Amino acid sequence: MAEAPPFKIEEVPAELVFEIEHTFKASAEQLFRAFTGKDLLVQWFGPEGWSVPAESAEVDPRVGGVWKFTMVNDDDPSMTSPSNAVFATLEPNKLIEGIETMPAADGEEPGYLYMRIEFKEEGDKTHLKITQGPLPTEYHEPGAQGWTSSFNKLQALVSEI
Rounded CA-CA distance 154/25 in Å is 10
Secondary structure class of 153 (helix, strand, coil): helix
> Is the pLDDT assigned to residue 2 strictly greater than 90?
no
- CATH fold for the domain made of 14-159: Alpha-D-Glucose-1,6-Bisphosphate; Chain A, domain 4 (3.30.530)
Report yes or no: 64 and 80 within 8 Å, Cβ to Cβ.
no
**pLDDT tens-digit readout, 83-133:** 999 999 999 999 999 999 877 666 677 789 999 999 999 999 999 999 999
Place 139 in a pLDDT band, splitting at 50, 70 and 90.
very high
pLDDT at 83: 93
The DSSP-derived string for 5-70 is: PPP-GGGS-GGG-EEEEEEESS-HHHHHHHHH-HHHHHHH-S-TTEE--GGG-EE--STT-EEEEE
**pLDDT tens-digit readout, 4-46:** 678 889 999 999 999 999 999 999 999 999 999 999 999 999 9
Phi, psi of 5 (to 5 degrees): -75, 175
Closest CA to 132 of 17, 46, 47, 21: 17
Amino acid at the residue 35: F
Residue range 138-151: mean pLDDT, rounded: 96
Q: What are the residue ranges spanned by the domains of the chain?
A: 14-159
pLDDT at 102: 79
> Exposure string (b/e) for 107-139, b if CB count within 10 Å is 16 or more?
eeeeebbbbbbbbeeeeeebebebbbbbbeeee
